Amino acid sequence: MSEVKYSKEHEWIKLDGEEATIGITKHATEMLGDIVFAELPEKGSNVDKDGTAGVVESTKAASDVYTPVSGEVIDTNQMIVDDPSKINEDPEESAWFFKLKIKDKSEMDSLMSKEEYDKFAKETSA
Amino acid sequence: MSIKKTSLNNLHIKYGAKLVEFAGYQMPIQYKDGIIQEHKYTRSRSGIFDVSHMGQLFISGGDDLTNDLEKIFPADLKKLKTNQSKYSFLMNNKGGIQDDLIITKTSDGFLIILNAACKYNDYEVIKSKLDNQYKLNLDESLSLIALQGPEAKNVLNKVIPGCDSLKFMNGNNYVYKNEKVYITRSGYTGEDGFEISIKHSDAETFVESLIENGSKLIGLGARDTLRMEAGLCLYGNDLDNDTSPIEANLKWAIPKSRIETEFVGSEVLKNQFQSGVKKLRVGIKPDSKVIARGNTKIYNDKNQEIGKVTSGTFGPSVEHPIAMGYVDNSYSTVNTKIFLEVRGKKIPANICNLPFYKKNYVKGEINV
């Protein structure tokens, strides 16, 4: 079974073997409002844990997207670049951002479980 | 200073507003539908905006009032008929804009609508320039509600019959629940619409009746995207103390009859009319989907900095990023290629005509 974890920067990460899929949480999209622009990392590039790996913009403001783990970018989701509103519609499934070949699985350990994240999101938005 | 609430605060909460602080007031940035839906609803049907944070300054008393106000504002107030409105400016001695405002001639004087963040300072400045000779009332017992969009006239006419006969930039007194309301046909979205000045105690029921007739509350977020598409300036972003109306490309708001006369800032303006200006406000359309926000630096094709963006967003009706800003005058021609520095990259863009979205005003006898 694949493992899903969450970061304090409101990204979710799903790990299947060595392949990690990363996106932003539903809670993040609710805070951002209507998303009108998405920028993704380049395929083949290497990203470092907690480093910038993309941008989303709502009508109001721009926000960086961070990667919760290090790795090589093996795929990006062109669908959300072509139609950023998909991120608001289905943030935790079809509107994923990028896939990584994960460098160090132990980086997953410091991330939050679903329950921990929900509690964190509730506390930080109150 | 504690944060102020408008008379519609409970209604904002009832309709699911996200509230933010704006100019000392708790205001709705958006409601449940979100900025894009609210924007489109205003363009296709009608939207209600709480603009009660703006200043409503009534000035009356004395035969010389018109003359004395013309020493402050570059508007042709002598030609203004009762209930007619003009867009104008409060300037400093250097011709910089301290506020942009709407002046309406009333039966016993003038009503000036001021920006929320500027209103208390404007009041002091105007009062002192008038040497305390007149009665000035920054009336905080009144709410101000804007109704904008193609259906605005039908919706408002059901609640206050007869107001659909108003011409653009004209106002009049009407009655709502046995109380006087003052309505002008104006707005700041690029749509036909009205602004209604109404007692606080009647504001909530009035807005509920607009909603019952098919309108929706719209937040400051959509107000900002709507005004940007319409090419209209936001004070503090696109206009400030160091920018003149000529530089802001608002020359049209200064009538020819006033150019040779004296008002605050007239020396500088006269000079700019004759010799031109160094920087000019322009419309900017990025080639790609990248959004350039306020303070984005603008470059020419030789990588020299030539200006900066003052407002930028995604335009929900034009379905493309839009921006406005100031560039060195030699780059202000439409279709000039420029580059916007966004997150370290130079994004190609073009100077374009304003507005991005074509206006839909009901024209009166006077063109503004």
- The answer to whether residue B146 scores a pLDDT higher than 80 is yes
Instruction: Round the average pLDDT of chain A to a whole number and report it.
Output: 95
Give residue ranges of A with CB < 8 Å to any B CB. Answer: 33-34, 36-37, 39, 55, 57-62, 81, 85
- Name the CATH topology of B56-138: Alpha-Beta Plaits (3.30.70)
Give strand pairing partners of A52.
A66
Reading the block at residue B16, the tokens are 């699911």
Would you place residue A126 in the very low, low, confident or very high pLDDT band (cuts 50, 70, 90)?
A: low
- Find the closest chain B residue to A85 by CA distance: B36
Closest partner residue to B293 (CB to CB) among A36, A62, A85 is: A62
DSSP-assigned beta bridge partners for residue A11:
A24
Task: Give me the domain span that covers residue A37.
Answer: 3-104
| Residue B368 pLDDT grade (very low, low, confident, very high; cuts 50, 70, 90) | very low
- Three-state SS for B161? coil
The one-letter amino acid at A122: K
* pLDDT value, residue B366: 35
Residue B73 near residue B156, CB atoms below 8 Å: no
- Cis peptide, bond prior to residue B245, ω within 30 of zero: no
* Six token digits for residue B130: 């008038």
State residue B364's pLDDT score.
43
Judged against a pLDDT cut of 60, whether residue B135 lies above it is answered with yes
DSSP for A101-115, please give it: EES-GGGGTTSBPHH
Q: The CATH number of the domain where A30 resides is what? A: 2.40.50.100
CATH number of B251-352: 2.40.30.110
A29: nearest CA in chain B?
B34
Report, as an integer, the average pLDDT of B329-333.
Answer: 97
| Out of A81-90, B93-102, B257-266, B355-364, least confident range | B355-364
Topology classification of domain B4-53+140-229: Gyrase A; domain 2 (3.30.1360)
Contact A59 B29 (CB under 8 A): no
Q: How many domains does chain A have?
A: 1
Determine the residue of chain A that is closest to B289 in CA distance. A37
Determine whether the interchain pair A60/B29 forms a contact, defined as Cβ–Cβ distance below 8 Å: yes
CA B317 from centroid of its chain's CA atoms: 19
Question: What's the whole-number average pLDDT of chain B?
Answer: 95
- C-beta atoms surrounding A45 within 10 Å: 11
Confidence of residue B365 (pLDDT cuts 50, 70, 90): very low
Amino acid at B203: A
Name the residue among A39, A59, A81 with its Cβ closest to that of B225: A59
In terms of Cβ atoms closer than 10 Å to its own Cβ (0-12, 13-18, 19+), residue B3 is exposed
Residues B293-309 pLDDT 10s:
999 999 999 999 999 99
Give the span between the Cα atoms of A91 and B359, in whole angstroms. Answer: 36
C-alpha triplet B139, B145, B102: angle, nearest 5°: 65
> Phi, psi at residue B284, to the nearest 5°?
-135, 130
Domain residue spans of chain B:
4-53+140-229, 56-138, 251-352
Residue B359: the pLDDT is: 63
Judge whether residue A73 has pLDDT over 50: yes
Min distance A3 CA to chain B CA atoms (Å): 33
Using CA atoms, how far apart are residues B16 and B28, in angstroms rounded to an integer?
A: 9
pLDDT tens-digit map of B183-218? 999 999 999 999 999 999 999 999 999 999 999 999
A30 CB neighbours in chain B (<8 A) are none
Is there a domain that residue A112 lies in? Answer: no
What's the token pair of residue B323?
């921006």
Q: Which two three-digit tokens encode residue B357?
A: 């979205």
- Looking at residue B358, its pLDDT comes to 82
Identify the sign of the CA torsion B321, B39, B185, B114: negative
Question: Is A109 within a domain?
Answer: no
Kindly report, residue by residue over A46-59, the tens digit of the pLDDT.
999 999 999 999 99
ipTM of the complex: 0.84
Residue A79 inside a domain? The answer is yes
What is the per-residue pLDDT across B161-183, written as a single tens digit (0 to 9) for each? Answer: 999 999 999 999 999 999 999 99
Please give the pLDDT value at position B367. Answer: 32
Does residue B279 contact residue B329 with C-beta atoms inside 8 Å?
A: yes
- Identify residue A104 by its one-letter amino acid code: D
Q: Residue B105 and residue B121: Cα distance in Å, rounded?
A: 22
Token digits of residue B365: 């006898």
Does the pTM of the predicted model rise above 0.90?
Answer: yes
Q: Do A59 and B313 touch (CB under 8 A)?
A: yes
Is A82 within 8 Å of A40 (Cβ atoms)?
Answer: no
What pLDDT score does A2 carry? 74
